[in-house]
Amino acid sequence: MRTCPLIDLHPETADMAALVTDGMEQRPRQLPAWLLYDAQGSRLFEAICAQPEYTLTRVETALLEQRAPELAASLGKGVLVEFGAGSARKVAPLLRALQPPAYVPLDISADHLAAACAELQAEHPSVPVLGICCDYSRLQRLPDHPLLAGQRLLGFYPGSSLGNFTPAEARRLLGQFARLLGPGSRLLIGIDQPKPAARLEAAYDDAAGVSAAFARNLLVRLNRDLDGDFDPSAFEYQARWEAEHSRIAMALISRRRQRVRLAGRSWTFEPGEQLITEYSLKYTPEAFTALAAAAGWRPRCRWSDPAGDLSLHLLEQ
């Protein structure tokens, strides 16, 4: 398989240790969601997307496939920059319809990104692919590269990943995307909508236990990368709908009193104490449009699936 250029801006281990230490000091303890995506975490997330209870990926992929020509016409010409591309499977219909001058996927998981870039490049030989391994939530500017020089930029942020940030962080992130993409840019973003609690809780705690394995893998990753001694089996996984915040809260709950060493420090978990691994906020189209407006984005078009499970919003600035 042909390899593609890949720019590596992955955070240093020292940065990671500082972020983890901050998160462990919070109450409830909470770690940044991007830490879930090491190579094994990325594979487990792919498996979550295929679970019968987790419909978000299938619904959004079908919508992208059905509406690709309209989406491409509304986006116009420009280099397509995807935030948190993962396996970069959703972009295929857009690449076919848009034929952009380049496609630039950003993701935290280097190996996963390299494999996705090589596969896409083979499938779309006429579109140059440039991968950037980074924490896109902290990327202030795109690196200088001939493929990006003087180009109008189009953002693509599918999968409702904005929901993994608090509303304040989400607003800041949308503002950062606006600055990063620059004047005249557009942003196509997928946003999952609120649904009945039982449906959402099943989606985030599937019967096959893949969501639980995904959360526990965070502890395995921390043990490896930050010299920790977590016992993943000493934590129970839970996903709960918190209607007052319109979010699913995913947590690992300590089964007993235990002391854990990590990044040269140690912390005590009381029985029942939570470590929040991730939130997944759900926005109505109106709530999302207001959030985007506060970050400087104007709504241009919106597409929803027939059941109204999720929307693709096209924003402009």
CA distances from 11 to 87, 105, 110, 140, 144 (A): 20, 17, 11, 13, 19
Peptide bond into 28 cis (omega under 30): yes
42 binds ligand AVI (CB under 6 A): no
Query: Which residues, in sequence order, are bridge partners of residue 104?
Result: 81
Choose, by CB under 6 A, the member of 109, 161, 185, 317 that binds ligand AVI: 161
Q: Residue 280 Cβ, how far from ligand AVI at the closest point, in Å? A: 3
Q: Draw the binding track, 81-120, toward ligand AVI (x: CB under 6 A; -: no contact).
A: ----------------------------------------
Q: Residue 160 Cβ, how far from ligand AVI at the closest point, in Å? A: 5
Q: Residue 5 Cβ, how far from ligand AVI at the closest point, in Å? A: 25
Q: Could you tell me which of 85, 87, 76, 106 has the C-alpha nearest to residue 43?
A: 87
205 binds ligand AVI (CB under 6 A): no
Q: Residue 274 Cβ, how far from ligand AVI at the closest point, in Å? A: 16
On whether the CB atoms of residues 313 and 288 are closer than 8 A, the answer is: yes
Choose, by CB under 6 A, the member of 105, 155, 159, 228 that binds ligand AVI: 159
Q: CA 192, CA 199: separation in Å to the nearest integer?
A: 13
Choose, by CB under 6 A, the member of 16, 48, 79, 178 that binds ligand AVI: 48
Pairing of strands 186-192, 153-157: parallel
CA gyration radius for the chain? 19
Q: Which residues bind ligand AVI (CB under 6 A)?
A: 48, 56, 159-161, 163-164, 204, 211, 214, 278, 280
